[in-house]
């Protein structure tokens, strides 16, 4: 889902309906009435989470009186990644405001992958590539990919030991490394066949590219389908990451960048060279092995691997717990800290039953790479490929490890190892860049 639907008749587990309310909590009309009738909004409660809805007051005065409540909502959403928040056009109905007045209040929500905005707000915020919010968190991560491959293989193999399953999985990836990656090459062919139609009015239309690539179905095996989804995710993520600062106007430039950075430099008919863009990294593989071995008995029926039980043990139980109790409570009950070396890293007590999380000042985030480490940089992987482009870009210069735009302050700022930098809300991009150039601290 790229934008909040115009009409919402039902919600999936974990989805929250965000509506405009009044401080008295009299949910008598518009989206507020729907929230009260269908999604658990409480009569008399005008602010915050209630059932499967979240109220933002909009009837108490001008736009300036709404902003604190929107800011509070964004902070809440950032602290509760277990929910997906579907924001309606709050304030643009009975309250009488325009989209152009309300949308800017949600500028800080743009980087939140779990906040979905209405199309009208996205257009005001100049976000034709709203796809980025959903794609920057991979839908088919490494652990999920490995699990789905084994689940698919199990339909034919009927595994009775974890060693059998892991052996086949290892052979699958060894075959890719040694004889060529036909599946990833299929993903690249899909990309090649899609990119020509992905430009509109001289700019890359990421939504159109995403839709076009998803329409292809060239895989003949379920286990290849799982890996193909992973490869497509990785390609789309890197394209969207590059486009943030390259602002592609034609397919040739994009293809040149993909080739230059090594994303497309791999073999579909022979041994892979390192580094290999589509390779599975070390930590997810180790954690997946441990999880499969330790939880094997819970994933079998009459001694044979049960795909539904495997999915339930490794993914579904954790997600249900978050929806019911909240992420903080689940981590407090089911997790342990890594100890003195990385006290901010939290592991599930039962290995392989949930992701690893890293605690920041305000929230827990999933560890990038789904493994161990001080992973506070969600785009660390993408930045490794973007850095050569930033180094040679005529639009950027490197100052004290920061890549800053030379003249166009609307371009993002990056750091050599911290990736894309979020500019503090109280500073303009120009002021932020001046701080970097002068080396002065930011209060």
Predicted local confidence at residue 443, as pLDDT: 61
pLDDT in tens, 36-62: 999 999 999 999 999 999 999 999 988
Residues 168 and 221 grouped into a single domain: yes
- 8 within a domain of the structure (yes/no): no
Q: pTM higher than 0.95 for the full model? A: no
CA distance linking residue 88 with residue 119, whole number of Å: 10
Residues 363 and 238 grouped into a single domain: yes
Predicted local confidence at residue 114, as pLDDT: 85
Of 19, 15, 4, 12, which Cα lies nearest the Cα of 85? 15
- 363 within a domain of the structure (yes/no): yes
Structural domains in the chain (count):
3
CA distances to 139, 231, 233, 265 from 185, in Å: 20, 9, 14, 10
CA distance linking residue 99 with residue 118, whole number of Å: 10
Residues 273 and 305 grouped into a single domain: yes
pLDDT in tens, 265-274: 899 999 998 8
Helix axes 162-179, 142-157, angle to 10 degrees: 110
Q: Are 352 and 290 in contact (CB under 8 A)?
A: yes
pLDDT band at 133 (very low <50, low <70, confident <90, very high): very low
Residues 49 and 91 grouped into a single domain: yes
DSSP label of 347: E
Predicted local confidence at residue 128, as pLDDT: 43
CA distance linking residue 229 with residue 317, whole number of Å: 23
CA angle 37-39-43, nearest 5°?
60
Domain span at residue 407? 394-438
Residues 174 and 307 grouped into a single domain: yes
Is residue 97's pLDDT more than 80? yes
Q: Are 268 and 117 in contact (CB under 8 A)?
A: no
Residues 398 and 252 grouped into a single domain: no
Of 423, 434, 430, 436, which Cα lies nearest the Cα of 107? 423
pLDDT in tens, 385-436: 999 999 999 999 999 999 999 999 889 999 998 888 888 777 888 999 999 9
Residue 330 backbone dihedrals phi, psi, to 5 degrees:
-65, -45
């Amino acid at each position: 889902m790229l934008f909040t639907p115009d009409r919402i008749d039902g919600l999936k587990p974990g989805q929250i309906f965000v509506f405009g309310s009044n401080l008295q909590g009299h949910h008598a009309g518009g989206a507020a009435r729907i929230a009260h009738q269908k999604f658990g909004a409480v009569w008399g409660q005008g602010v915050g989470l209630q059932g499967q809805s979240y109220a933002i007051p909009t009837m108490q005065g001008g736009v300036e009186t709404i902003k604190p409540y929107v800011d509070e909502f964004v902070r809440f959403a950032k602290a509760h990644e277990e929910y997906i928040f579907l924001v309606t056009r709050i304030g643009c109905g009975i309250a009488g405001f325009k989209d152009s007045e309300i949308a800017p209040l949600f500028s800080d929500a743009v980087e939140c992958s779990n906040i979905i905005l209405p199309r009208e707000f996205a257009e005001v915020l100049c976000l034709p590539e709203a796809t980025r919010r959903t794609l920057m968190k991979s839908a088919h991560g490494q652990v999920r990919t490995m699990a789905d491959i084994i689940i698919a293989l199990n339909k034919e193999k009927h595994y009775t030991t974890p060693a059998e399953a892991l052996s086949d999985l290892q052979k699958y990836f060894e075959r890719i490394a040694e004889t060529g990656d036909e599946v990833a090459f299929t993903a690249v062919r899909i990309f090649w066949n899609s990119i020509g139609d992905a430009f509109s009015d001289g700019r890359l239309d990421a939504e159109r590219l995403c839709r076009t690539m998803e329409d292809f179905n060239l895989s003949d095996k379920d286990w290849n389908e799982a890996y193909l989804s992973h490869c497509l995710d990785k390609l789309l993520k890197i394209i969207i990451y590059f486009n943030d600062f390259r602002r592609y106007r034609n397919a040739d430039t994009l293809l040149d960048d993909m080739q230059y950075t090594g994303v497309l430099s791999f073999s579909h008919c022979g041994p892979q060279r390192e580094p290999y863009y589509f390779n599975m990294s070390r930590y997810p593989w180790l954690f997946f092995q441990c999880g499969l071995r330790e939880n094997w008995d819970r994933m079998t029926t009459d001694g044979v691997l049960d795909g539904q039980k495997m999915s339930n043990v490794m993914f579904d139980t954790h997600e249900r717990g978050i929806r019911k109790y909240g992420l903080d409570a689940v981590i407090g009950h089911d997790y342990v800290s890594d100890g003195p070396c990385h006290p901010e890293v939290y592991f599930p007590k039962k290995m392989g039953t949930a992701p690893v999380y890293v605690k920041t000042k305000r929230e827990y985030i999933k560890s990038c790479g789904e493994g161990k480490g001080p992973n506070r940089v969600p785009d660390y992987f993408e930045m490794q490929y973007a850095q050569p482009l930033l180094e040679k870009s005529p639009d950027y210069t490197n100052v004290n490890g920061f890549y800053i735009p030379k003249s166009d302050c609307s371009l993002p700022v990056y750091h050599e190892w911290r990736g894309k930098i979020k500019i503090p809300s109280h500073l303009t991009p120009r002021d932020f860049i001046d701080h970097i150039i002068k080396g002065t601290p930011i209060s």
